[in-house]
Amino acid sequence: MLFEFIGYLAGICTAVCFMPQTIKTLRTRDVKSLSLTSYIIYNLGIFSWTLYGLHLKSVQMVLFNSISLIFSLSILYMIIKYKNKKAN
């Protein structure tokens, strides 16, 4: 029961963790301190987890990782888009 809770906590946290980062970057358009390489690897990882979840027919894995992918892809897109924008 406790570990079931911890498992769900883990899944929810890693699903929504980059929502605040997405909102912050959307607002400020400042990507200067964000690592492009990190977000490329992170997106590849989350995409692979989603595929692996589909293979395992795990609804939770697919759901949590798909949510995570929305934010990580948004951040990656903004890093590429705003990369050359001068800092304010």
In the numeric block, the tokens 């997106």 are attached to 43
Give the x/- contact pattern for a copy of itself in 22-41, rule: CB under 8 A. Answer: -xxx--x-xxxxxx-xxx-x
Phi first, then psi, for residue 85 (nearest 5°) are -70, 135
Under the binding rule (CB under 8 A), the answer on residue 80 touching a copy of itself is no
Binder among 13, 26, 60, 83 for a copy of itself (CB under 8 A)? 13
CA dist 10 and 23 (Å) reads: 21
CA dist 83 and 14 (Å) reads: 25
Amino acid identity for residue 82 in this structure: Y
Binder among 16, 63, 73, 76 for a copy of itself (CB under 8 A)? 16
Which residues are near a copy of itself by CB under 8 A?
Answer: 3, 6-7, 9-14, 16-21, 23-25, 28, 30-35, 37-39, 41-42, 44-46, 48-49, 51-52, 55, 87
